Amino acid sequence: MSDPTIASVPVAPPIRRHDHDDTAREECGVLGLSTPHGEGVAQLAFFGLFALQHRGQEAAGLAVSDGTRTRVHKQAGLVANVFTQEALKPLTGYHAIGHTRYSTTGSNAERNIQPFLVETMHGPLSLAHNGNLVNATALRDELLNRGFGLTATSDTEVFTLMLAAAGGRTWQERIERTLPAWKGAFSLVILAADQVIAVRDPWGFRPLSVGRLPNGGHAVASETCALSTLGCVEIDEVRPGEMVSLRGAEIERTQVLAPQPHGARCTFEFVYFSRPDSVWDGHSVHHARQRLGIELARESLVDADVVIPVPDSSIPAAIGFARESGLPFNDGLIKNRYIGRTFIEPTQDIRERGVALKFNALSENLEGKRVIMIDDSLVRGTTAGPLVKLVRDAGASEVHVRITCPPITHPCHFGVDMGHDDDLMAARFTVEEMREHIGADSLAFLSLDGMMRAVAERESGADDGYCNACFTGRYPIAVGDAQAKLAFEGVIA
């Protein structure tokens, strides 16, 4: 069956150039560890965070407790640069939480780097999270009215201060009392003096899993790939609304809030964010991406000679597309995997070439070929055009772009920085106008039903249990009070 959102004409118009990257930015990655012996917990945490580097490249942080005292090290940069041997050496203890950050609420200023650490009347409390509160404004105002001084512009501080001020005999009781006030997406890791506590929102927006470490301790992480890196066994998903308490070999799991009946797992985790070797909701991310390609081939096949991916996240989908269509799969674009976060400004000549910083084309695989180029998404439309031109300049006779998700027409308020309506290409243009803008011979998006058949392995394509608000505008939580990413920046100079 063909997708009605396909547009095609024989001739491509000129390309407009942009300097921005056309990606929905990763949310964040969280990690928690509790060990019975306390040997090398910071080093373990380092390797766990390294496995979550793809979820945030702006900053990284780690808090470690020996049961009495908590030490924190955090700064801007990649995990390998932030945590040198010298930085890890003083981080001794039994329990740790860590974070890799891409800012969603609040800028990438140093004051917003996680984990946050405060001293409370109950001892030190450190917290890191992945996600976004849609009622952060109201909660911040309440804290200010109660006399709290806020030092950051991230909703992480809201979580931390509310817990610090909560009543209750234990941290578990304080969390239970505070949890109903938080509306939105959050997977939290909390470090008290002698334990690590993980909590997931009742909608289940962001992933979180728990496993047993080889040394008898336990770990929680945003993705199962990090737990596998640490050698964890008995890996299980933290359920929506569940609280998991870790004390070395001891683990306690409590359902503190009833899961929302329909759930709201972020579909984009399967499309783009998660590492392909992760498993979520019982589904392999790699296999889900292959199925996205299969569904895309069924909906929008075109006469062509070769299928190429835009590496890396689109590789499994391109393999699935090629397998279903019977067309050969080949590499057409080679990605520089080390360009991710550079603090060296490119020269004007290189900047004008734009996408050449990240990709080179293999002309021997493209020359004279009708090419189907598979990409995971089209967000702002600033990278697709230069990629199409790069493939054409390498000798391709035709370039047909196929996207493994529906058009992104609405912003995300739950922890993904996609920009706003004015930034989103599909919110402003028709499919035909987008095709003209990127200069492709044809452009097609996967239908919502096709995407859900691939992700959830359902014949019907129903999206129950998943959040597709960025495609449909149907938000599982009212977002009238949700703030823009930098909404609180004016508060603090």
DSSP 8-state symbol, 273: I
Q: Is the peptide bond before 393 cis (omega within 30 degrees of 0)?
A: no
The Cα 269–Cα 266 span in angstroms is 6
Contact 189, 97 (CB under 8 A): yes
Smallest CA-to-CA distance from 223 within 180, 199, 195, 187 is with 187
Name the E strands within 194-332. 195-200, 209-212, 218-221, 233-237, 242-247, 250-255, 264-266, 279-280, 283-284, 306-309
DSSP SS3 for 96: strand
The whole-number pLDDT of residue 75 equals 94
Instruction: Determine the pLDDT at residue 356.
Output: 76
| φ, ψ of residue 126 in degrees (nearest 5) | -125, 145
Q: Give yes or no for a contact between 227 and 212, defined as CB atoms under 8 angstroms apart.
A: no
Kindly give the confidence (pLDDT) of every residue in the chain, 493 residues in length, as a single tens digit, with 9 standing for 90 and above: 434 334 433 333 322 223 345 555 546 999 999 999 887 999 999 999 999 999 998 999 999 999 999 999 999 999 999 999 999 999 999 999 999 987 544 444 688 899 999 999 999 999 999 999 999 999 999 999 998 888 877 888 999 999 999 999 999 999 999 999 999 999 999 999 899 999 999 999 999 999 999 999 999 999 999 999 999 999 999 999 999 999 999 999 999 999 999 899 999 999 999 999 999 999 999 999 999 999 999 999 999 999 999 998 899 999 999 999 999 999 999 998 776 544 455 566 665 566 778 899 999 999 999 999 999 999 988 889 999 999 999 999 999 999 999 999 999 999 887 777 678 999 999 999 999 999 999 999 999 999 999 998 887 777 889 999 999 999 999 987 555 444 444 444 3
Return all residues near 298 (Cβ < 8 A) that are at least 6 apart: 1, 324, 450
- C-alpha dihedral over 382, 385, 386, 388, to 10 degrees? 150
pLDDT number for residue 46: 98
Question: Taking Cα atoms as reference points, which of 178, 169, 165, 162 lies closest to residue 256?
Answer: 178
Specify whether the CB–CB gap between 95 and 37 falls below 8 A: no
Distance CA 52, CA 225 (A): 8
Active site residues: 28
Strands across the sheet containing 59-65: 70-76, 59-65, 95-101, 28-34, 218-221, 209-212, 233-237
The fold of the 28-261 domain, in CATH, is Glutamine Phosphoribosylpyrophosphate, subunit 1, domain 1 (3.60.20)
Give the residue from 480, 473, 450 showing the smallest Cα distance to 463.
450
Domains of the chain, residue spans? 6-24+274-472, 28-261
What's the predicted TM-score (pTM) here?
0.88
> What are the contacts of 140-149 at 24+ separation with CB within 8 A?
140/488
Task: Indicate the length of the chain as a whole number.
Answer: 493
- Give the integer Cα–Cα distance in Å for 476 and 468: 9
Helix ranges, 189-301 (H)? 224-229, 268, 285-300
CATH T-level topology, domain 6-24+274-472? Rossmann fold (3.40.50)
